[in-house]
């Protein structure tokens, strides 16, 4: 590589938090090679797109973005364009055929190969691909964290669930857990670097350790992490009701540092549909988990994922979902219209729901949920919560924000007395459906 001038990289990340964590490891390798980050695509010597393929719309968006880079390649033939992540794993060398100006395609188990591939590409201009899923899921790599006080900590990779609507097991592979010692060592390192909050990442954190077959499970990991000095908050995502246990809930409730926010996806309120989705639990079991978690953590902030319009969903089944919403009363629900994903069993199931009906059901679902979201947030009015300051809001530099342990965003008017990363008390003045408005308590 020519180090006579500064060289720059630009990373675009689509998809989940695991992808963001992977992008941090790509950035670490690029900086180890001497590249510097830039937001200016015209300055970039390497453009890396870390992709998602959970929905075909995500793939379409990525292909459109790749097409935009063609003119940059024309202007700078030495520009390296790398496509990584789940879509790279799925498409592999088809990406070169679709967009010949791409240089590198890197699959989900080959993140550590970036330095080697860039060196190959710099010595000989050609297409290079690494997408071998038989490689170990975890490697020692440099990491360039994108935030100064919040750190992503991968605890496992892959998924064994094979929900009938989901492509993830096909592109991330089988579940592989990191040893507790390796996770603890990384958390101690980020704590020493001043990080206050970590998030334990996995496609299904509740099955953590099962592949190790030595008695390790998520509750033991929670207990080990709780003893690490310097970290104020520990989050985790994402949970799966099939593998969540009362013992795990006990470990979370007894922890000093695990937050009081639990994201527990239900997906729908119909047992018949849950079976078609291959979710592996019933609504009865799910409600037992919710009731126990609320008993152990009275201040629990509970959120969920819900899919509407899954193939075969009748009006009665949809009513079951609305009834479950009314029974549980979530703080927030992330709601999705089912969209067929090529390569998954659900895509070819009978009973596909018309788009117009799916849209109507989504609106009806949101109308019910928004009542509870607003109610829960209004109950927080006149209460004081500790938040970690994240900085100015996107559209107004005079208003800053932070999150409670329950992951509720509070916005307040900045008076210049706090800095990003401070932990400060904030009083809630007004609860709205999506955010809280408040003021600093001095």
Binding-site positions for [4Fe-4S] cluster: 16, 52, 86, 159, 163, 166
Output the CA–CA distances (angstroms, integers) from residue 425 to 386, 428, 440, in the order listed: 4, 10, 6
Query: What number of other Cβ atoms are within 10 A of residue 396's Cβ?
Result: 12
- Residues at the annotated binding site? 16, 52, 86, 159, 163, 166
Q: Are 209 and 221 in contact (CB under 8 A)?
A: yes
The encoded tokens of residue 168 equal: 């993830």
DSSP conformational letter for 92: T
Contacts with 403 (C-beta within 8 Å, 6 or more apart), sequence order: 387, 388, 390, 409, 410
Largest CA distance in the chain: 68
Q: Which two tokens stand for residue 116?
A: 């080697």
CA atoms of 34 and 6, how far apart (whole Å)? 8
Angle at 371 between CA 368 and CA 376, to 5 degrees: 130
Find out whether 150 and 198 touch, Cβ atoms under 8 Å. yes
> Beta strands of 284-356 (E only): which ranges?
301-308, 332-337
CA dist., res. 344 & res. 340, Å (int): 8
406 in helix, strand or coil? coil
Q: Where are the beta strands (DSSP E) in 218-362?
A: 233-237, 261-263, 301-308, 332-337
**Is beta strand 423-431 parallel, antiparallel or unpaired with respect to 384-392?**
antiparallel
Q: Dihedral through CA 187, CA 18, CA 68, CA 8, nearest 10?
A: 10
* Tokens found for residue 274: 């849950």
Cα–Cα distance for residue pair 28/33, rounded to 1 Å = 9
């Amino acid at each position: 590589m020519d180090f006579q001038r500064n060289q720059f990289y630009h990373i675009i990340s689509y998809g989940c938090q695991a992808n963001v964590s992977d992008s941090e490891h790509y950035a670490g390798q690029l900086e180890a090679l001497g590249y510097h980050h830039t937001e200016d695509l015209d300055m970039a010597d390497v453009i890396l797109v870390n992709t998602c393929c959970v929905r075909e719309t995500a793939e379409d968006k990525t292909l459109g973005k790749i097409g935009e880079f063609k003119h940059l390649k024309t202007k700078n033939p030495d520009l390296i364009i790398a496509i990584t992540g789940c879509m790279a794993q799925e498409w592999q060398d088809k990406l070169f055929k679709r967009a010949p100006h791409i240089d590198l395609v890197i699959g989900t188990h080959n993140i550590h190969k970036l330095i080697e591939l860039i060196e190959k590409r710099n010595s000989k201009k050609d297409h290079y691909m690494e997408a071998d899923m038989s490689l170990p899921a975890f490697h020692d790599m440099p990491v360039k964290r994108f935030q100064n006080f919040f750190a992503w900590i991968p605890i496992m990779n892959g998924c064994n669930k094979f929900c009938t609507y989901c492509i993830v097991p096909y592109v991330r592979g089988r579940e592989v857990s990191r040893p507790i010692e390796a996770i603890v060592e990384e958390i101690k390192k980020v704590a020493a670097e001043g990080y206050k909050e970590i998030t334990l990442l996995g496609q299904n954190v509740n099955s953590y350790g099962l592949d190790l077959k030595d008695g390790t499970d998520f509750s033991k990991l929670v207990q080990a992490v709780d003893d690490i000095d310097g970290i104020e908050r520990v989050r985790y995502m994402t949970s799966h009701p099939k593998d969540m246990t009362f013992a795990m809930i006990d470990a979370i409730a007894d922890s000093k540092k695990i937050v009081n926010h639990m994201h527990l996806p239900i997906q729908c309120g119909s047992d018949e549909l849950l079976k078609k989705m291959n979710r592996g639990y019933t609504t009865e079991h799910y409600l037992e988990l919710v009731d126990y978690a609320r008993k152990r953590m009275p201040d629990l902030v509970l959120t969920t994922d819900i899919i509407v319009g899954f193939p075969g969903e009748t009006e009665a089944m949809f009513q079951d979902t609305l009834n479950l919403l009314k029974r549980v009363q979530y703080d927030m629900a992330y709601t999705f219209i089912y969209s067929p994903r090529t390569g998954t069993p659900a895509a070819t199931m009978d009973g596909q729901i018309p788009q117009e009906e799916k849209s109507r059901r989504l609106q009806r679902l949101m109308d019910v949920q928004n009542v509870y979201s607003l109610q829960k947030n209004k109950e927080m009015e006149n209460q004081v919560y500790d938040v970690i300051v994240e900085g100015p809001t996107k559209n107004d530099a005079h208003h800053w924000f932070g999150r409670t342990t329950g992951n509720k965003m509070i916005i307040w008017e900045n008076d210049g007395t706090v800095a990003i990363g401070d932990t400060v008390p904030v009083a809630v003045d007004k609860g709205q459906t999506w955010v809280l408005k408040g003021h600093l308590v001095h």
